[in-house]
Structure 1
Amino acid sequence: MEVTALCIKLLMIVMMLLSEHDQKVYAASLHIDPNRAQFFVYESLTFHCEGVSDCEVVHESKGKISCNKTNSRTSTGSSCTVTNVYVDDSGKYWFDAGGGNKSNIVNIDVTDGSVIMEIPALPVMEGEDVTLTCRNKTTSSQTLAHFYNYGIFISNSSTGNMIINSVSKSNEGLYKCSISGFGQSPESRMIIRGFGE
C-alpha cells in the first residue's frame, strides 16, 4: 500500500514538472505569420508572442520593434504586425519571456530581388511533408524553378514547387532556388525537430 502511494506521489511530481516545462516552452514561443523565412520588400508579416500580453519583439541589431499601433491581444498571447518590411529588417527576432529568459529565435531574410523561396521559418517536425515554393515577384504563374541544397543542385520543378515527403534530420540545411531570367532567392536554413526535442 505504501509503495502504491509513493508511486502515485512520484507520478504527480513528474506530471507537475512536465506541466511547468510545457508552460515555460509555451510562454516563450514566438511564431510568424506567414510562416516563411523569406519576404519581398514592402510585404507585411505578423509576430505572435504566445503567453504574454504585450508582444515586444526584439531585432538582433535594431533592438525593440515599435508595435504601438499594431500590437493586439490574441487568445493565447499577443501579436505585432510589421508593415512594409525592408532589407535591413532581415535577421534574428525574439521576445523577452521574463526572468532573464527569451523566446525561440525566428530568422527572416528580406530581399529587394525578384525571387524568394517560401521555406518555413519555424522548425518542422520529423515525418511532416514540406513544400518549398520558388516565387517570382512579378508574376504568380507557375514557372520552371531550380532548387539547391548547400549550393548543390537537387531538383527542377515546372510548377515552382518542390515537395519533401516525410522530412528527417538529413533534410535539415540551407536551401535556395532560382528562376531563369529572374535570378535566385536568398539562402535560408530549414530546421528539422525530432520527436522529444
Structure 2
Amino acid sequence: MHFTPVCLLLSCLRLSPDRTQFFKHESLSLTCDNQLNSTSHWRVKRKTAEGGVRQCGSGWGSAFSGSGCTIGSTYPSDSGVYWCESTESERSNTINITITGGSVILVSPALPVMEGDSVTMQCRPETNTSLDFYKDGLPMGRGAVAQVTIHSVSKSDEGFYKCVILGSGESAESWLSVKASLSLPPAAFSYTVTRMMYPIVVWAPFLLSTIILGLIIRDRKKAQTDAERRGSDEVVMDIVV
C-alpha cells in the first residue's frame, strides 16, 4: 500500500501489521509513538464489548518497552476500540480492530491516509476465488485479483469498505479515513510568509538603531574612562618630578 499515514497528535497509536482486520489466532502489536517526546507516560488501552475499558496487561495482552502491547493469539473477544492514554489522561487516536472467525478479511490501512496518495486494499480469503469489492454497500467491481487500488485518493473516497467472496462469505467493514493535504496553495503560502516577515520588517530598524546607540554610548564611556586615567597618571608624574 503506497500511502502516507497521518497522525498529528501528542501520541500516535500504531498497529503492526498495518490493518484493522485479523483472523482468529493471529498476532498483533500496538505501540504508542510519542510525537513530541513529552515526559508523559503512555499506555495502550482498549474498550471491548465483553471486557469494558482495560489497560494492556490487565487481563489482556503483554506490555513491552513501557508503551507497547502485543497480543500473541487473537480472539473475536479482542475486537474493539484501542488507544493510547497518558498518566495525565491525554489520549491518542483510536483504532477499531476486528477479529473474525470467518473465512475472509479486508486488509486496509489502520491510520488515515493523505489526500493524493495511492492506496491498495487487499481481500484475504482462505482460497482463491472470484471476489467482489464494495464501498458503502455498493459494488465496485469483480475479479480474480484479491485487491483494489485507488489512485490519488480524495475525501470522496472516504467510507466503509468490505470485500465479498462469492459462495464463501464476506469481510467485515473497515473505515478508510482520508485527510486533506498539509501543503499550502501558493497564495496561502505567500500570505503566511508575508505575515511572518511583517514583524521582522517593522522591528528590525528599531532593533538596529538600539544596537548602534548602545555601541556609541559604550565607546563614549570607554573614551571618557581612558581620558580620566591618563589625567590621573599625569598628576602623579608631576608630583614625583
- TM-score grouping bracket, smaller chain normalisation: 0.7 to 0.9
TM-score, structure 1 normalization: 0.76
| Residue 19 (structure 2) aligned to one of 36, 52, 70 | 36
For structure 1, the residue ranges without an aligned partner over 5 or more in a row are: 1-23
Query: How far off its partner does 1:121 sit?
Result: 1.3
Report whether the alignment pairs 1:156 with 2:142: yes
Report whether the alignment pairs 1:119 with 2:125: no
CA contact (8 A) 1:53 1:78 kept: no
Q: Secondary structure at the match of 1:71?
A: strand
CA contact (8 A) 1:59 1:92 kept: yes
CA contact (8 A) 1:55 1:71 kept: no
CA contact (8 A) 1:41 1:112 kept: yes
Report whether the alignment pairs 1:65 with 2:65: no
Q: Secondary structure at the match of 1:170?
A: helix
> Structure 1 CA distance, aligned partners of 2:82 and 2:29?
12
Aligned partner of 1:88 in structure 2 is 77
For structure 2, the residue ranges without an aligned partner over 5 or more in a row are: 1-7, 184-241
CA contact (8 A) 2:61 2:72 kept: no
Shift of the 192–40 alpha-carbon distance from structure 1 to 2, 3 Å rule, reads same
Higher share of residues assigned helix: 2
The 5-angstrom pairing of residues 1-197 of structure 1 reads 25=9, 27-51=10-34, 56-60=43-47, 61-66=52-57, 70-73=62-65, 78-136=67-125, 138-139=126-127, 142-196=128-182
Paired residue total: 167
> Structure 2 CA distance, aligned partners of 1:169 and 1:31?
22
CA contact (8 A) 1:40 1:110 kept: yes
TM-score, structure 2 normalization: 0.63
Shift of the 81–174 alpha-carbon distance from structure 1 to 2, 3 Å rule, reads same
Q: RMSD over aligned Cα, in angstroms?
A: 2.4
Query: How far off its partner does 1:108 sit?
Result: 1.0
